[in-house]
Homo-oligomer: A and B are copies of this chain.
Amino acid sequence: MEMNLESIFNPKSVAIIGASREPNKVGHAIVKNFIDSGFAGKIYPINPNAREIIGLKCYPSVSAVKGKIDCAIFAVPAKFVPSALRECGENGVKGAVIISGGFSEVGNVEGEKQIEEIARKYGIAVIGPNCLGVLNPSSRVDSVFLPVYKMGRPHVGGVSFMSQSGAVGGCILDLAARAGLGVSKFVSYGNASVIDETMLLEYLGNDEKTKIIVCYVEGVKRGREFLEAAKKVTVKKPVIMIKAGISVGGAAAAKSHTAALAGSSEAYKALFKQAKIIEAETLMELFYFSKIFDQPLPKGKRIGIMTNGGGYGVLAADAAEQTGLKLAELSSDTKKKLVEKLPNYVTVRNPLDLVGDADSKRYELALDALLEDENVDVIIVITLFQTVGLDSNVVNAIIKASDERKKPIIIVATGGEYTDVHCRILDSYGVPTYHSPNAAMKALKHAAGYAEYLERKEKRK
């Protein structure tokens, strides 16, 4: 039976089952999020004991709603879920997000089975149970029950993120919001009783607004199908994944968390390799790797580095070689141009140390030269915002240089609040920023590897 994930990610009307008037309840937070996010469709709070919630008319049940409901969000105790889901089915609801926990992850296998049976009978696409919800900044869908002041919401962008763990999902969303990274769709899918990782991967793979897919997975239910789906997706867009539960202790923890069977680490390594999935080893890598794909794919591995701090140039050169990238040999044209235009105390080489008193003009010159240089595939711009000479204009210069997406431009900047403000602007324009040369180079290595993979695929055709 065809399941309709559109009703989950782009509903025109939602019912919140278990809507509550108590501000600290999940069923309250979700109603408020839909109102605050500016959801354009209908919102139907469902609660037999309330007449109004945050100014919205409340309904005793889904059957009492006259209009069509595309998606129902469940924030009621587990024992009430099956009957309410059946009622949804009988009223033609095609999407359900079951936030409620208390199913197979605590041994209530029977309850979860009921959900599955009802979903299949009525053709309801069910996300969850035991999940954090769904977010789609472009359609203003926000069933994530974490308050906005605690977890920021990212703006519209190209990264879609499917996470088995709600906690991991929430943290990454919060990081993305803080960093200015744009998100297309987010789904925390919990126990994956009906809609599993394979279906989500296929949906996001076909979704035009999704440019990059990021996954946190504890266990894959249908390994072979997932592999086949992943193979088809990765020729269209990059898939980045972290597999949790790869240790003995971790696997046991995963079982009690989302009832996931973690599987062997080797099996997953093989899966990643066969499907050309990019493996992140840590949460921060998941985040770092996804940012790099906002830039064009590199045509090669020859990088040009510019910096206003000599030490950072040294570290960047080290990190480049360690990750298998190459320092570009600047063309004689570039060298000539730079010697002419830069102050005489700047030594023209790669890494190009623009020296501590560099201003945005000097960066602009260097950016122009390296953009033109055919020996340079990627430009790493190290901007230490702490110096007296560097002001916010350098951000404009970088955004302008990156605007045509001629070649990837990647920023390294370490620091506190002043630095963060500038990094956020750059990230919001799809110019990825990294706290350290090492993080940038690791991400870049994966972008270069993915570019090579696509090229090989292309040649075989």
Looking at the complex, which one of B307, B311, B322, B386 makes contact with A150 (CB distance below 8 Å)?
A: B386
Q: How far is the CA of A175 from the CA of B307 in the complex (A)?
A: 19
Q: How far is the CA of A165 from the CA of B384 in the complex (A)?
A: 12
A284 cross-chain contacts in B, Cβ below 8 A? 435-436, 438-439
Judging by beta carbons under 8 Å apart, are A317 and B247 in contact? yes
Q: A167-B309, A416-B175, A417-B152 are in contact. Are A257 and B438 (CB under 8 A)?
A: no
A322 cross-chain contacts in B, Cβ below 8 A? 247
A147 cross-chain contacts in B, Cβ below 8 A? 388
A439 to chain B, nearest CB (A): 7
Query: Would you call A164 an interface residue if the criterion is a C-beta within 8 Å of the partner chain's C-beta atoms?
Result: yes
A177 cross-chain contacts in B, Cβ below 8 A? 416
* Residues 49-64 of chain A, each 1 if its beta carbon lies under 8 Å from chain B, else 0: 0000000000000000
Judging by beta carbons under 8 Å apart, are B435 and A178 in contact? no
A245 cross-chain contacts in B, Cβ below 8 A? 314, 317-318
Judging by beta carbons under 8 Å apart, are A165 and B314 in contact? yes
A347 cross-chain contacts in B, Cβ below 8 A? 106, 256
Looking at the complex, which one of B167, B282, B309, B321 makes contact with A384 (CB distance below 8 Å)?
A: B167
A182 to chain B, nearest CB (A): 15
Judging by beta carbons under 8 Å apart, are A256 and B353 in contact? yes
Query: Would you call A250 an interface residue if the criterion is a C-beta within 8 Å of the partner chain's C-beta atoms?
Result: yes
Q: How far is the CA of A186 from the CA of B167 in the complex (A)?
A: 38
Judging by beta carbons under 8 Å apart, are A167 and B249 in contact? no
Q: How far is the CA of A216 from the CA of B315 in the complex (A)?
A: 10
Q: How far is the CA of A299 from the CA of B246 in the complex (A)?
A: 27
Looking at the complex, which one of B174, B218, B311, B345 makes contact with A386 (CB distance below 8 Å)?
A: B174
Judging by beta carbons under 8 Å apart, are B317 and A249 in contact? yes
Looking at the complex, which one of B168, B170, B320 makes contact with A315 (CB distance below 8 Å)?
A: B168
Query: Would you call A450 an interface residue if the criterion is a C-beta within 8 Å of the partner chain's C-beta atoms?
Result: no
- Chain A positions 235-268 with a Cβ under 8 Å from a chain B Cβ: 242, 244-250, 252-254, 256-258
Judging by beta carbons under 8 Å apart, are A250 and B384 in contact? no
A217 to chain B, nearest CB (A): 10
Residue of B nearest to A216 (CB): B311
A135 to chain B, nearest CB (A): 13
A318 cross-chain contacts in B, Cβ below 8 A? 244-247, 249-250
| Identical copies of this chain, number | 2
Residue of B nearest to A245 (CB): B314
The CB with the most chain B CB atoms within 10 A, among A146, A170, A171, is that of: A171
Judging by beta carbons under 8 Å apart, are A314 and B253 in contact? yes
Query: Would you call A365 an interface residue if the criterion is a C-beta within 8 Å of the partner chain's C-beta atoms?
Result: no
Query: Would you call A356 an interface residue if the criterion is a C-beta within 8 Å of the partner chain's C-beta atoms?
Result: yes
Residue of B nearest to A242 (CB): B315
A438 cross-chain contacts in B, Cβ below 8 A? 281-284
A320 cross-chain contacts in B, Cβ below 8 A? 247, 249
Q: A317-B249, A416-B177 are in contact. Are A310 and B258 (CB under 8 A)?
A: yes
Q: A26-B388, A146-B387 are in contact. Are A309 and B174 (CB under 8 A)?
A: no
- Chain A positions 297-330 with a Cβ under 8 Å from a chain B Cβ: 307-315, 317-322, 327
A149 cross-chain contacts in B, Cβ below 8 A? 418
Judging by beta carbons under 8 Å apart, are A257 and B150 in contact? no
A29 cross-chain contacts in B, Cβ below 8 A? 388
Query: Would you call A138 an interface residue if the criterion is a C-beta within 8 Å of the partner chain's C-beta atoms?
Result: no
Residue of B nearest to A419 (CB): B174
Given A29-B388, A174-B418, 5 additional A-B pairs, CB 8 A? A167-B384, A171-B384, A257-B310, A257-B311, A284-B436
By Cβ-Cβ distance, the 6 closest A-B pairs, closest first, are A167-B309, A165-B311, A178-B416, A257-B310, A247-B321, A249-B317
Listed by A's residue number, 28 A-B pairs whose Cβ atoms lie within 8 Å are: A102-B345, A146-B388, A150-B385, A150-B418, A151-B416, A151-B418, A165-B310, A166-B356, A167-B308, A167-B310, A167-B384, A170-B309, A170-B384, A172-B414, A174-B386, A178-B417, A245-B318, A246-B318, A248-B321, A249-B317, A250-B321, A253-B313, A253-B351, A256-B310, A282-B319, A282-B438, A283-B438, A284-B435
